[in-house]
Structure 1
Amino acid sequence: MVAGHLREQNGYYQMILSWKGKDGKRRGKSISTGLLIKGNKKRAEALLLKTRKEFAPENQMENADMLFSDFLVKWLKDRASTLDSNTYAEYAYEIKKTIIPYFQKHPVCLLKLTTKELEAFFHSENQQNGAATNDLLLYHEIIVAVFQYAVELQWIEENCALQVNPCADEVPILFTDFLLEWLEMMKSCVELTTYSSYSNAIKRSIVPYFRDKMLTLQELERHPKHIQDYYQFELNRGLTANTVIHRHANIRKCLQYAFQIGLIKSNPADRVERPRKKKYVATIYNDQELETLFKAVKGDPLELGVILAAFYGLRRSEAVGLKWDAIDFEKKTIRIKHVVTQVNLDGKNITIQKDRAKTKSSYRTLPLVRPFEELLRRLKQEQLLNQKVCGAAYCKKYLDYIYVNAVGELIKPNFITQHFEIVLKNHGLKKIRFHDLRHSCASLLYANGVSLKEIQEWLGHSDIGTTSNIYTHLDYNSKVSSANAILEFYPENASVQIVGQ
């Protein structure tokens, strides 16, 4: 078992491990426990003991001695199935043609590689081999992704490539060119849903606006008004303030990266006024309206989604992602642990399935009530019957899922949104968003005496602040009670009483 002790750093406990390598030299590794110092000493000590028992020095020895050129090969192999074919082919070509040959001539271990060696690589490519700006940015994009993988493996603690300016010897870079290069780098750093949001905003709105202006990063830094003008342009053509705020987030994040690697000395997006965010006030259904809606969707493919959203407060992605193994008919529980989302990327609709909800709090277990249990049993029987009727034509890909159509295909999230609007229109019902059924659920819970804390846990919000911010209107009845209590002090108004909404 390796030696080890705890160290206090930045308010958290760190585990410092120590062992003797095959070469006889003493080696060490620092691992964060993620535990705050206050009140967690025993838990940290227990985690240290467990880590010391399970720690494998031989693997660390391999990691410490691995040349960066060899790690590039490992990264290519491990990422072959996660990158799309075009991106993988481009990365593999540049790694084998340019990056690996350089670091084979200038060998350095992964754990000993610093910004100095990386800067030397970019300087060599620029001055000796005449690499263009786009090539340097591509090399940097690849190296950033490689180092990020090493961070994920916990072989290194931070991504030093983010501190390197690949174009230090180059001419000023156009903002649109840098924006697209940054977007490509983000593909390996964020979730596909997040990347899709970035891509749609940048390619459809931001780049088209700035392309003809031919502004460099340095010009934007000197004149942030160009960014402010863009926001006003979007507002004038009808975009909401909230949408423009999302555009601001994209621009600021990109320029922050340019600042981090030294292309600009400050982030110009920090010197503009972003639009004031408008708070969305949900339109909700009361209990009578929900009862009418339940009757309208009876037997419709939308029925399951409406019940899950209105009664259980599930998000659309959670409703579609519900699987049979999440239902415990004996214990009468439902576990929310899997989601299905749909994104549009470069004109293509992509369905994403993952065993991870929106936040950690989104994982939750809810009671299985009798009416919903009966509906689930009926749906199970219908699916078994459909499998027999359709035979080989029945889709076997989604047998684990509850929300499928008559031929076994998974109901698409976008179908729910679009079909919900049609159902409301056909039955003359008040127009609301499908997500507003979740708000309706919260409103009914509160009206029946359920506290905001309990509503937070039921809906799977990360903190009660989110719940209270969204459902501040639910506190109105408590204000009415306070107002009526005050009236007791005014005898002349004793017969007057304020009526709640």
Structure 2
Amino acid sequence: MTTPRDLSPSRRIRANGDGTVYQRKDGRWEAAGYVLAPGNTRKRIRVYGTPRKEALAKLTEKIATSNRGVPVPSAQGSVSTYLTYWLETVAVHQLRENTHTRYTACVNQHLIPGLGKKKLAKLTAKDVRTWLNQLRTTCQCCARSIDAHRDQPRCCAAGTCCSKRLSPLTLAYIHSVLKSALEHAVREEEITRNVARNVRTGTPRPCRFEPLTADEARQFLAAARNDGLFVLYELALRTGLRKGELLGLQWGDVDLSAGTASVRRTLQRPQTGGLTTLPTKTRASERRIALPSECINSLEEHRKGQEGEREAAAGGWNESRLVFTTLAGGAIDPANLNRGFRSLLDRAGIRRIRFHDLRHSTATLLLEQGVELVVIKELLGHAHIGVTATVYAHVRLRLQRDAIDTLSAALEGPTDAEAARIDGEEPLTCAALVR
């Protein structure tokens, strides 16, 4: 009688569901079995190994993963193919147009050249980490042949590398785009795990900004008083609204009698079209804020001035219902606003800052006046209070130092006059105390 032990290794009997293992004509061992596939179906897979134990171990691992309810990856294409599919059919419906444009540039310039030829199902965390390390130390002029398209080469084409490397913030952005793409692949059961999440790139330092001081802010408002967009600049500095939120503000959003303004939209210029109105940056950005009394008076005068411009334009007026418009009633281009803002800074003799730094100036001045962080978070429309705390950490540190100095003064002990008062003796005074 023949027993399984007497059979050759290639003919040993395996239990039902364990798959089959046999030797091929080329000498390799092949193991095949059924595992769970996407859509709650079963799929027969094949793995190979030089010794029999290697093929058997691979098959056993896949069957064990399948028994835990994890389907086998269905991705057979390359990373490049999947990223193209993700951009054209998934991300285009989930991202804003400008964000999608930046994602596309990131994929075409960095992700596809670096990882595009690898199989999506076989991509590992080591591959991602090695590629990011190489990207961190590679000159972009040489890698992307930027120097070859210049009229006067000054890098690799000229024989001297300029060492133009990516900043840590750009590397973190590229890494986040890859994580987003692979996360969707996991949700669609194309791969079993997001290997990019296992790679640590470090937290990049936020961009430093230099907000206006209180004296500079007063000087800025005084210089802007004669400007046609004075109300816009005043509203930006006193409320911290974003540039797009200011340009997209409509008269229907402003209640001057109640002294409030509702932020519902933002005005932007996508790279593929003209000016367009979009929803706010996040759900938290859609908010209702209180208007300072100075802004209420300025807006009332601004509305009267806009009525005069409408009458002067007659039939050429563009009824956009926007608070801040051109002389013809149309929307103001953000680029034109930036140019006017820089000219105003030059006329006022104030150092060059970005328009967005007016928003930072609002939050910084409020913090220095002792306003609570949660109030500033609601005013600025941040999604989480941690964002507010992180961006303005340097201001909070200065306030902490003032608090510590106050405590230190209290711990040093009372003065002679205070000590005499504690002992029950009245200090010498020039006049009686009035309560």
Smaller-chain TM-score range? Answer: 0.5 to 0.7
Q: Which residue of 1 aligns with 2:160?
A: none
Match of 1:276 among 176, 185, 203: 203
Structure 2 Cα separation of the partners of residues 372 and 252 of structure 1? 44
TM-score, normalised to structure 1's length?
0.57
- Contact 1:404/1:411 (<8 A) preserved: yes
Matched, 1:217 2:139: no
Tell me how far apart the structure 2 counterparts of residues 253 and 379 of structure 1 sit (CA, whole Å): 45
Q: Which residue of 1 aligns with 2:385?
A: 464
Counterpart-to-counterpart distance in 2, 1:351 and 1:203: 26
Match of 2:35 in 1: none
**1:402 equivalenced with 2:315 (yes/no):** no
2:184 match: 257
Q: TM-score, normalised by structure 2?
A: 0.65
Structure 1 residues 269 and 229, CA, compared in 2 at 3 Å: closer, same or farther?
Answer: farther
Would the alpha carbon gap of residues 350 and 253 (structure 1) be closer, same or farther in structure 2, given more than 3 Å must change? farther
Out of 199, 202, 211, the position equivalent to 2:104 is 199
Partner of 2:60: none
Distance 2:270 2:274 in 1: 5
Answer whether contact 2:231 2:302 (CA < 8 A) is retained. Answer: no
String of CA shifts for 1:255-284, please: whole Å, max 9, x gaps. 333344454454342343324311233311
Note if 1:307 corresponds to 2:234.
yes
Name the SS of the counterpart of 2:94 in structure 1.
coil
1:449–1:223 Cα change, 3 Å: closer
**CA shift at 1:343, angstroms?**
3.1
The 8 Å contact of residues 164 and 261 in structure 1, kept in 2 or not, is answered as no
Per-residue deviation, 1:360: 3.5
Count residues in correspondence. 327
Change (3 A) 1:198 1:210: same
User: Which residue of the partner structure matches residue 220 of structure 2?
Assistant: 293
Taking a change above 3 Å as real, the CA distance of residues 366 and 320 of structure 1, as seen in their structure-2 partners, is: same
Q: Are the aligned partners of 1:310 and 1:441 in contact in 2 as well (CA < 8 Å)?
A: yes
Partner SS state of residue 343, structure 1:
coil
SS across alignment from 1:183: helix
Q: 1:317 aligns with which of 244, 268, 285?
A: 244
- 1-side partners of 2:268 and 2:206: how far apart? 25
**Shift of residue 440 of structure 1?**
1.0
Is 2:135–2:166's contact at 8 Å kept on the other side of the alignment?
Answer: no
Q: Does 1:184 align with 2:88?
A: yes
Question: What do residues 341-372 of structure 1 show as CA deviations (whole Å, max 9, x unaligned)?
Answer: 3333xxx3553313x43334333333333332
Among 237, 244, 268, the alignment partner of 2:164 is 237
Maintained 8 Å contact 2:231/2:295? no
Partner of 2:286: 363
- Runs (5+) with no aligned partner, structure 1: 1-113, 121-162, 495-501
One-letter code aligned to 2:82: F
SS at match of 2:269: strand
CA distance in 1, matches of 2:135, 2:222: 48
CA contact (8 A) 2:265 2:280 kept: yes
Q: Distance in 2 between matches of 1:290 and 1:433?
A: 14
Instruction: Label 1:252 to 1:231 Cα distance change in 2 as closer, same or farther (>3 A).
Output: farther
1:294 to 1:391, Cα distance in 2 relative to 1, 3 A: same
Match of 1:353 in 2: 277
The alpha-carbon deviation at position 385 of structure 1 amounts to 2.2
The answer for unaligned runs of 5 or more in structure 2 is 1-37, 44-69, 141-162, 417-435
Q: Which amino acid aligns with 2:114?
A: F
Q: 1:462 to 1:376 in 2, by over 3 A?
A: same
Q: Which moved more, 1:264-273 or 1:175-184?
A: 264-273
Structure 1 residues 251 and 434, CA gap change in structure 2 (3 angstroms): same
Cα distance in 2, alignment partners of residues 257 and 189 from structure 1? 12
| Whole-Å separation in 2 of the counterparts to 1:279 and 1:375 | 35
Q: Return the index of the structure with the highest Cα Rg.
A: 2
- For residue 315 of structure 2, what is the amino acid of its counterpart? A
Q: Is the alpha carbon distance of 1:115 and 1:430 closer, same or farther for their aligned partners in structure 2, counting shifts above 3 Å?
A: same
Amino acid at match of 1:294: L
What's the offset of the Cα at 1:334? 1.9
Indicate if the aligned counterparts of 2:213 and 2:361 stay in contact, CA closer than 8 A: yes
The counterpart of 2:369, out of the listed 448, 453, 462, is 448
Question: Deviation at 1:376?
Answer: 1.7
Which moved further from structure 2: 300-309 or 280-289?
300-309
For 1:473, the equivalent position in structure 2 comes to 394
Relative to structure 1, the CA distance from residue 205 to residue 383 in structure 2 (aligned partners, 3 Å threshold; closer, same or farther) is farther
Report Cα offsets for 1:438-494 as digits up to 9, x if no partner.
111122222333222222222222333222222223332343232242244446999
The superposition leaves residues 363-400 of structure 1 with CA deviations (integer Å, 9 ceiling, x where unpaired) of 3333333332232223222322222222333223x1x1
| Distance change in 2, residues 1:271/1:461 (3 Å) | closer
C-alpha distance in structure 1 between counterparts of 2:315 and 2:111, whole Å: 48
Q: Which residue of the partner structure matches residue 66 of structure 1?
A: none
1:483 matches 2:405: yes
CA distance in 2, matches of 1:460, 1:477: 23
Whether the 8 Å CA contact 1:305–1:416 is kept in 2: the answer is no
Matched, 1:339 2:263: no
Judging changes above 3 Å, is the alpha-carbon distance between structure 1 residues 384 and 203 closer, same or farther for their aligned structure 2 residues?
farther
Contact 1:342 1:351 in 2 (8 A): yes
Aligned twin of 1:246:
173
RMSD (Å) for aligned C-alpha atoms:
3.4
Mapped partners of 1:427, 1:443: distance in 2: 21
Query: Counterparts of 1:272 and 1:395 in 2: how far apart (Å)?
Result: 52
- Correspondence list, 1:372-387, <5 A: 372-387=295-310
- Note closer, same or farther for the CA distance 1:279–1:368 as it changes in structure 2 (3 Å cut): closer
Aligned counterparts of 1:418 and 1:306: Cα–Cα separation in 2:
13
Output one character per residue of 1:121-156: Cα deviation in whole Å (capped at 9) or x when no partner: xxxxxxxxxxxxxxxxxxxxxxxxxxxxxxxxxxxx
Amino acid at match of 2:39: T
Distance 2:276 2:86 in 1: 23
Counterparts of 2:275 and 2:248, CA distance in 1: 11
The one-letter code sitting in structure 2 at the alignment partner of 1:311 is R
User: Per the alignment, do residues 368 and 291 of structure 1 end up closer, same or farther by CA in structure 2, a change over 3 Å counting?
Assistant: same
Identity %: 21
